[in-house]
């Protein structure tokens, strides 16, 4: 396409077009003259906008990606002859100049979510997940098969605040690069929830391939990366998570070059406590040996567990609770508390790179979460009694900060620290891992 346009310029065919200096042409030109769609149109157009370009000739197949972008003039085309005829004045091309209303996309995206009021019981887990969503804390849920771990994880997406417009463009650009912007939902307006299966390849999770495309780690940027059946994942895949969990970016190096993609996600995982699924179950007998249980759990390394703020036990709910027709609290109601906590954090971290409590470094804690003597003494005793590492103590303080935020409490007290500690449930683990 670029070469064809150069020829038109060289032949002076487009010299009369007064917008040439601010116009770009995109598409894959085929030998029969048809212009096919390309991946990555959205980031190219957004970058071009920053460099003063305002007029774009794009393949009809990609047109949906630009329908909601303001302040641009778009000419959708499907054959190169249209461009030639346009410049010869033989064909009028009607540009699209008015962006569609993005509110329609928000409503469409909201329809597809799992609502917390569809999940019976699990009061403790629901509170814990609201706290996790409020402060972007990584979560591991452990429980027997059928206890509701996966459904609870999916419902998390419904209590997250909507993406603001700048974030929509940021996330949608990543999806554009891999050709995942659908015609019916051409921009990503809800925070991503990416569920990864344990059979997925390392490269599909990290990114790469021959064209350095982003993987699941980047597709879950700006919110949830969910690993179901965590212990079934190959250890090398789990270890790969450690760097982006710390740095919030992923660097991909291949023969084709090196590229860095954003990877600021909240990690949510679920697992059975053992191979048969019923270790320490209240009703069903586990058929695994203690050695088997230990081997099963050992796939989750200590360093990875250290990066998880909340380890939740998800028990199977009693049948009378499941049959109860009363609905629980809705996602809309829980989501209001989450949004309020996000606003508190935005104010707290204004002027810094920090976006959530979980992202504070140990150095930030003194400034943003000052503790009184009673809290320090409580933590000291807990550290000695439970032999907690400094990293774990810092995570407890950050989590306590979020618990205080979701309750509109200014100062973290022993109460919030004690609740934060309860969310480090190691009951299911055979021994300290």
Distances (CA, A) of 182 to 179, 207, 253: 8, 20, 28
Q: Which residues contribute to the site for Zn ion (CB under 5 A)?
A: 274, 276, 279, 286, 288
Cβ proximity of 152 and 119 under 8 Å: yes
For Zn ion, the closer of residues 129 and 231 by Cβ is 231
Q: What is the DSSP letter of 300?
A: S
Give the count of beta carbons closer than 10 Å to the beta carbon of residue 319.
8
Provide, rounded to whole angstroms, the least separation between the CB of residue 277 and Zn ion.
6
Provide, rounded to whole angstroms, the least separation between the CB of residue 230 and Zn ion.
16
For Zn ion, the closer of residues 267 and 428 by Cβ is 428
Provide, rounded to whole angstroms, the least separation between the CB of residue 289 and Zn ion.
9
Candidates 357, 431, 433; CA nearest to 134 is: 357
Provide, rounded to whole angstroms, the least separation between the CB of residue 294 and Zn ion.
11
Terminal CA-to-CA distance of the chain, rounded, Å? 57
Contact partners, residue 57, CB within 8 Å, separation at least 6: 23, 24, 25, 26, 27, 75, 77, 83
For Zn ion, the closer of residues 82 and 425 by Cβ is 425
Provide, rounded to whole angstroms, the least separation between the CB of residue 299 and Zn ion.
15
For Zn ion, the closer of residues 207 and 273 by Cβ is 273
For Zn ion, the closer of residues 279 and 428 by Cβ is 279
Distance CA 194, CA 206 (A): 13
Q: What is the DSSP letter of 79?
A: B
Cβ proximity of 272 and 141 under 8 Å: no
DSSP sequence for 373-413: HHHHHHHHHHHHHHT--HHHHHHHHHHHHHHHHHTT-SS--
For Zn ion, the closer of residues 33 and 145 by Cβ is 145
Tell me the chain's radius of gyration from C-alpha atoms: 26
Candidates 100, 40, 93; CA nearest to 72 is: 100
For Zn ion, the closer of residues 202 and 280 by Cβ is 280
Give the count of beta carbons closer than 10 Å to the beta carbon of residue 233.
25
Provide, rounded to whole angstroms, the least separation between the CB of residue 355 and Zn ion.
39
Provide, rounded to whole angstroms, the least separation between the CB of residue 304 and Zn ion.
22
For Zn ion, the closer of residues 290 and 321 by Cβ is 290
For Zn ion, the closer of residues 270 and 276 by Cβ is 276
Provide, rounded to whole angstroms, the least separation between the CB of residue 430 and Zn ion.
11
Strands 224-227 and 266-271: parallel
Per-residue exposure over 401-422, b if at least 16 CB sit within 10 Å of its own CB, e if not = bbbbbbeeeeebbeebbebbbe
Provide, rounded to whole angstroms, the least separation between the CB of residue 292 and Zn ion.
7
């Amino acid at each position: 396409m670029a070469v064809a346009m150069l020829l038109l310029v060289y032949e002076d065919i487009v010299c009369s077009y007064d917008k040439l200096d601010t116009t770009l042409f995109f598409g894959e030109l085929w030998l029969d003259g048809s212009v096919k769609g390309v991946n990555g149109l959205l980031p190219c157009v957004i970058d071009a906008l920053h460099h003063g370009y305002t007029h774009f000739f794009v393949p009809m197949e990609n047109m949906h990606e630009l329908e909601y972008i303001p302040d641009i003039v778009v000419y959708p085309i499907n054959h190169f002859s249209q461009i030639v005829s346009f410049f010869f004045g033989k064909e009028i091309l009607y540009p699209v100049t008015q962006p569609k209303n993005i509110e329609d996309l928000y409503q469409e995206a909201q329809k597809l979510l799992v609502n917390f009021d569809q999940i019976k019981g699990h009061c403790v887990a629901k509170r814990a997940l609201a706290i996790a969503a409020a402060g972007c804390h990584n979560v591991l849920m452990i429980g027997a098969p059928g206890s509701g771990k996966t459904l609870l994880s999916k419902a998390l997406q419904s209590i997250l605040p909507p993406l603001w417009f700048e974030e929509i463009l940021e996330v949608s650009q990543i999806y554009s690069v891999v050709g995942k912007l659908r015609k019916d939902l051409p921009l990503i307006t809800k925070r991503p929830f990416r569920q990864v299966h344990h059979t997925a390849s390392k490269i599909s999770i990290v990114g790469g391939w021959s064209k350095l495309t982003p993987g699941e780690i980047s597709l879950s940027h700006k919110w949830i990366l969910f690993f179901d059946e965590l212990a079934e994942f190959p250890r090398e895949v789990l270890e790969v998570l450690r760097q982006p969990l710390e740095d919030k970016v992923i660097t991909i190096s291949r023969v084709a070059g090196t590229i860095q993609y954003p990877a600021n996600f909240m990690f949510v995982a679920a697992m059975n406590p053992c191979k048969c699924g019923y270790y320490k179950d209240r009703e069903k007998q586990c058929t695994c040996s203690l050695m088997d249980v230990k081997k099963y759990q050992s796939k989750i390394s200590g360093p990875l567990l250290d990066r998880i703020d909340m380890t939740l036990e998800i028990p199977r709910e009693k049948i009378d609770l499941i049959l109860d027709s009363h609905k629980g609290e809705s996602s809309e109601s829980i989501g209001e508390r989450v949004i309020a906590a996000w606003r508190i954090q935005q104010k707290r971290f204004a002027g810094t790179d920090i976006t959530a409590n979980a992202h504070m470094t140990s150095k930030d804690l003194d400034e943003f979460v000052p503790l009184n003597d009673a809290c320090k003494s409580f933590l000291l005793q807990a550290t000695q009694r439970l032999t907690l590492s400094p990293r774990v103590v810092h995570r407890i303080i950050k989590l306590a900060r979020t618990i205080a935020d979701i309750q509109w409490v200014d100062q973290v007290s022993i109460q919030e620290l004690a609740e934060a500690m309860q969310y480090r449930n190691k009951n299911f683990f055979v021994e300290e891992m």
